[in-house]
């Protein structure tokens, strides 16, 4: 199992220009993966790409890419020329992901993030998404990239709110490169049983996001951590568990999607405190998985 940290823990913004330093910082805290937003990859200078790849190699850190699509990238849209354009954009993104030597792209990468204009079209949208994803799955396969569709809560999308809905879509697409990202926060809102959600995703589980119920670093809280760890081990999940704490106020993380309206970090937390808390949370998560494996 690999363990990852999302860049937004160390920044109040989704994206930054200090990825090489953050890759080193992730490794110092014990993480195997740094997860970054996709946007800047599309027009990133080759020198920065080279610096990121060198930092990954020097620190033995793998880069994961994530994000949520807008209207132009919406693979589920019913306008056929628009959908084809979105597929071409997705292929450009795949090339950009391959350029930084990443092999996972995860998020709301099947529809439009927070667009609720035509929920009555849900079934038709899913059929359009399946057509798009079959083509993207083939392109992703050529580049060795897993396209992980994030199941999100009802306030972020009407397309995939449960693992069962995502599993139905991946079965319909039937591509080994189109998989599922489950996030414990979204699942806590929508699923009847968080462990069962993992079992439903089963061998299509491509990525897993964790945090507490209020999106702090993973740690003791009312979430059924032991059951979740048990299910991850039972389905043979052995990719990456990424931490996605949304704890920073005042930047794009808070104001553009994360909805952080109060301080979620201890008062006067220093950079060293952030790193120490991340390492402690990593110990918590690793302990759960090891315990489940020993049972
Ligand atoms: Mn997530």
- Residue 220: the pLDDT is 96
Instruction: Give the Å distance between the CA of 33 and the centre of ligand 1.
Output: 15
Instruction: Give the Å distance between the CA of 153 and the centre of ligand 1.
Output: 10
* Catalytic center residues: 150, 244
Tokens for 112?
A: 């439009």
Into how many domains does the chain fold?
1
* pLDDT by position in tens, the chain (length 295): 999 999 999 999 999 999 999 999 999 999 999 999 999 999 999 999 999 999 999 999 999 999 999 999 999 999 999 999 999 999 999 999 999 999 999 999 999 999 999 999 999 999 999 999 999 999 999 999 999 999 999 999 999 999 999 999 999 999 999 999 999 999 999 999 999 999 999 999 999 999 999 999 999 999 999 999 999 999 999 999 999 999 999 999 999 999 999 999 998 899 999 999 999 999 999 999 999 999 9
- Residue 78: the pLDDT is 98
294 closest CA partner among 226, 245, 240, 247: 226
- Residue 74: the pLDDT is 98
Instruction: Give the Å distance between the CA of 266 and the centre of ligand 1.
Output: 23
Tokens for 50?
A: 């080279």
Cα distance between the two ends of the chain: 17
Instruction: Give the Å distance between the CA of 150 and the centre of ligand 1.
Output: 7
Which domain range does residue 112 map to?
2-294
| Buried residues in 209-246 as b, exposed as e (16+ CB within 10 A) | bbbbeebbbbbeeebebeebbbbbbebebebbbbbbbb
| Buried residues in 177-200 as b, exposed as e (16+ CB within 10 A) | bbbbbbbbbbbbebbeebbebbeb
Q: 0.95 cut: is pTM over it? A: yes
**For position 49, which CATH number holds?**
3.20.20.150
CA angle 70, 97, 5 (to 5 degrees): 85
- Residue 67: the pLDDT is 96
- Residue 267: the pLDDT is 87
């Amino acid at each position: 199992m690999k363990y990852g940290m999302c860049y937004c823990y160390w920044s109040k913004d989704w994206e930054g220009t200090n990825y090489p330093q953050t890759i080193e910082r992730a490794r110092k805290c014990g993480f195997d993966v740094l997860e970054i937003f996709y946007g800047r990859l599309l027009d990133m200078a080759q020198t920065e790409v080279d610096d990121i790849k060198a930092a990954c190699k020097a620190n033995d850190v793998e880069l994961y890419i994530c994000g949520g699509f807008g209207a132009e990238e919406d693979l589920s849209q019913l306008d056929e020329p628009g959908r084809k354009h979105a597929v071409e954009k997705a292929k450009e993104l795949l090339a950009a992901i391959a350029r930084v030597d990443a092999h996972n792209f995860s998020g709301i990468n099947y529809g439009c993030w927070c667009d609720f204009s035509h929920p009555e079209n849900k079934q038709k949208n899913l059929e359009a998404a399946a057509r798009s994803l079959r083509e993207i799955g083939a392109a992703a396969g050529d580049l060795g990239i897993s396209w992980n569709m994030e199941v999100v809560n009802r306030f972020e999308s009407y397309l995939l709110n449960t693992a069962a809905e995502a599993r139905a879509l991946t079965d319909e697409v039937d591509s080994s490169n189109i998989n599922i990202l489950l996030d414990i926060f979204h699942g806590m809102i929508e699923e009847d049983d968080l462990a069962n959600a993992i079992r439903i995703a089963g061998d299509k589980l491509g990525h897993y996001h964790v945090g507490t119920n209020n999106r702090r670093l993973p740690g003791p809280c009312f979430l059924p951590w032991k059951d979740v760890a048990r299910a991850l081990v039972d389905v043979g999940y052995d990719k990456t568990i990424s931490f996605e704490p949304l704890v920073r106020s005042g930047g794009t993380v808070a104001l553009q999607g994360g909805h952080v309206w109060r301080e979620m970090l201890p008062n006067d937390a220093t950079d060293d405190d952030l790193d120490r808390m991340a390492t402690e949370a990593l110990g918590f998560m690793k302990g759960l998985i090891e315990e489940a494996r020993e049972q």
